[in-house]
Amino acid sequence: MKIQKIGILLLLAVSLNCFGQETNMEKKDVAKGEMMVRIAELEIDPNAIDEYLNILKEEAEASVRLESGVICIYPMYQKENPTQIRLLEIYANKAAYESHLLTPHFKHYKETTLKMVKKLKLIEMQAIDPESMAIIFNKLKQ
């Protein structure tokens, strides 16, 4: 594989805030498509939005950096309504998610933002295309 391709992949993984040090078991769960995928929909108190975003950024960054089973936490807000937050969360498996809930950085996030969050909806998702992983992976190896 060319260095250039590796660079592109690094940039993509980094730009998506998606990086961890998955264990072999977690990598297998990802490959088997046993990831836990979720969209979190939040509405934040407009008076607390700046503070909320800072705390969320820290929590998302720490989760991806410190937790082997956190594949991706990708936080966004709606351009037309910046108090509407959406997170794409991908965990290697359910155990990784349960472990995430017990970490100091998640507990800190939860405690400090409790009063800022006006609405919270957690929607379990299924990724549509686990098969294409194999196709693209083969392409990368060529």
> Interface residues with a copy of itself (CB under 8 A)?
1, 6, 8-22, 27, 30-31, 35, 37, 39, 53, 56-57, 60-61, 64-65, 71-72, 74-80, 82, 85-86, 88, 90, 123-129, 131-133, 135-137, 139-140
The residue (of 120 and 123) whose beta carbon lies closer to a copy of itself is: 123
Q: Taking the complex as a whole, how short is the minimal distance between the CB of residue 61 and a copy of itself, in angstroms?
A: 5
Which residues is 66 bridged to in the sheet?
none
Separation CA 9–CA 69 (nearest Å): 19
Closest of 73, 56, 55 to residue 64, by C-alpha: 73
Q: Taking the complex as a whole, how short is the minimal distance between the CB of residue 139 and a copy of itself, in angstroms?
A: 7
The residue (of 102 and 131) whose beta carbon lies closer to a copy of itself is: 131
The residue (of 18 and 48) whose beta carbon lies closer to a copy of itself is: 18
Neighbours of 117 (CB within 10 A): 15
In whole angstroms, how far apart are CA 140 and each of 5, 30, 78, 100, 136? 9, 17, 34, 31, 6
Which secondary-structure segment (H or E) carries 35?
Answer: none
Q: Taking the complex as a whole, how short is the minimal distance between the CB of residue 45 and a copy of itself, in angstroms?
A: 17
The residue (of 5 and 110) whose beta carbon lies closer to a copy of itself is: 5
Residue bearing tokens 């939005």? 49
